[in-house]
């Protein structure tokens, strides 16, 4: 009998919905307070997850839910980078 592998779920900081970790984008704040998009999911620091949808990114930006979660100001470049990643994944 095959053992069902547990799929790690993460909560989107924008929508509050739970999704498999692989379907999310991780944003991380380093010890130095630098905020960046973590495409590997392995960077050290405090992480927050956003759904791979432009609506979720816009919602996170509007509500500043990323900034609240990571306790750091989020540069606009981070939101721009998230949208680029989402657009690129749609093309695959």
Condensed to tens digits (0 to 9), the pLDDT of residues 29-69 reads: 999 999 999 999 999 999 999 999 999 999 999 999 999 99
Class of the domain covering 9-91: alpha beta
What confidence score (pLDDT) does residue 35 get?
96
Helices 54-63/76-91 angle, 10° precision: 170
Which single residue is written with the structure tokens 């944003």?
Answer: 27
Domain ranges of the chain: 9-91
């Amino acid at each position: 009998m095959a053992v069902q592998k547990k799929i790690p779920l993460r909560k989107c900081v924008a929508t509050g919905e739970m999704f498999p970790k692989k379907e999310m984008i991780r944003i991380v704040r380093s010890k130095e307070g630098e905020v960046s998009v973590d495409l590997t999911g392995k960077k050290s620091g405090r992480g927050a997850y956003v759904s791979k949808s432009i609506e979720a990114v816009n919602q996170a930006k509007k509500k500043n839910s990323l900034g609240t979660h990571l306790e750091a100001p989020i540069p606009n470049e981070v939101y721009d980078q998230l949208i680029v990643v989402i657009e690129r994944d749609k093309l695959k």
